[in-house]
Structure 1
Amino acid sequence: MLILQRKPGESVMIGSDISISVISVEGGRVRLAISAPVEVPILRSELIAAAAVNQDSAREESDPAALLDLLSGPPPSSP
């Protein structure tokens, strides 16, 4: 892992066609601008992690009857 220090207005190049610029630093937040070709996906790491969790959940097998019970909700209460 490469660790760099940059000030607002400075940038880093990745290869010849990806540029990451520091827009601002306020408190504990850093705003970045990323310029890359449209075929390069740019995703936040937490979205990738959430997608992986969703895929893992979708692969798990569940008893169809148990799923139907969950969907039907609790039985109605009697007065």
Structure 2
Amino acid sequence: MTSAKEALRKKVDQLSEEEALEVLRLIATKESGRTTGSGVSLTREVIRERLAGKPTFRLPPPGAAPRRMGKRIQCPGIPASELLIADRR
């Protein structure tokens, strides 16, 4: 069985230059958190910067209010999640 480091080396060889740079940045943030003893604080601004370049995500305007949670709809009977769990047992 291959070790995690060996598997990682194989994956790194397959990365594009852009993907490799992103992995290096991730490692740098992990190392800086380890040496200072504090992790990277994920503020709204940090998350916004990370997701801004990714076409998968549509971000709300910077001044938008936090999203409100809607009301749950009350339905008679057993909740679907409980039925699913019971079926899988």
Could you tell me the TM-score, scaled by structure 1's length? 0.27
Question: Would you tell me which structure has more strand in proportion to its own residues?
Answer: 1
Compare CA radii of gyration and give the structure with the larger one: 1
Higher relative contact order (CA 8 A, sep 6+): 1
